[in-house]
Amino acid sequence: MDDWIITLDGQEKTSFDRATFESTITCPDTPHPGVKWETTEKDGSTSVYEGLPLWVWVAMMDGGDSAAGHYRFNDSLARKGYKILVISKDGFAAELESSLIARNDEIILAYKKNGKYLSESDGPLRLVGGDLPSKKHQVKQVVEIKLQGI
């Protein structure tokens, strides 16, 4: 699996790579364990996606981190309302409301499908989950996440 970098642009600007993503999921002290989402594909087969909730990555750039580290979600900022743009390699962007993603483990940035890393046509990350407003919000090849209206 090749390395990759995802850009985060909000109150704070940062980025994360594959190693950071995977260590966050597997860290025994993390308050953000990995999650799975199961869905039925068009052909009737079942797929299981694995990743981390989108809100965990928003917490990296929403100004809510504690001095001790471990990304802390800024609940008060989310209640005020802002938009999250999840942007693909080709420039397509899905827009989500902060009220929808706030501590919602049903909207995830997946890095695996059925136990294997995502294919090049889907990865490195794909936005999936049962609480997405529609299938068009399932962004493939995610390269950037931006906060707007903060």
Comparison of pLDDT for 88 and 35, the residue scoring more: 88
**pLDDT at site 73:** 84
Q: How confident is the model at residue 28 (pLDDT cuts 50, 70, 90)?
A: low
pLDDT, one tens digit per residue, over 88-140 is 999 999 999 999 999 999 999 999 999 999 999 999 999 999 999 999 999 99
**Total tally of structural domains belonging to the chain:** 1
| Residues 15 and 80: beta-carbon distance below 8 Å | no
Please tell me the number of Cα atoms within 13 Å of 63 on its side-chain side. 7
pLDDT band at 30 (very low <50, low <70, confident <90, very high): low
Task: Map tokens 């809100």 to a residue.
Answer: 55
Using the 8-state DSSP alphabet, how is residue 28 labeled?
T
| pLDDT for res 109 | 95
Of 68, 54, 82, nearest to 150 (Cα)?
Answer: 82
Three-state DSSP class for residue 61: coil
136 DSSP assignment? G
Question: Does residue 16 register a pLDDT over 90?
Answer: no
Domain carrying residue 25: 5-148
The CATH code of the domain that includes 33 is 3.90.420.10
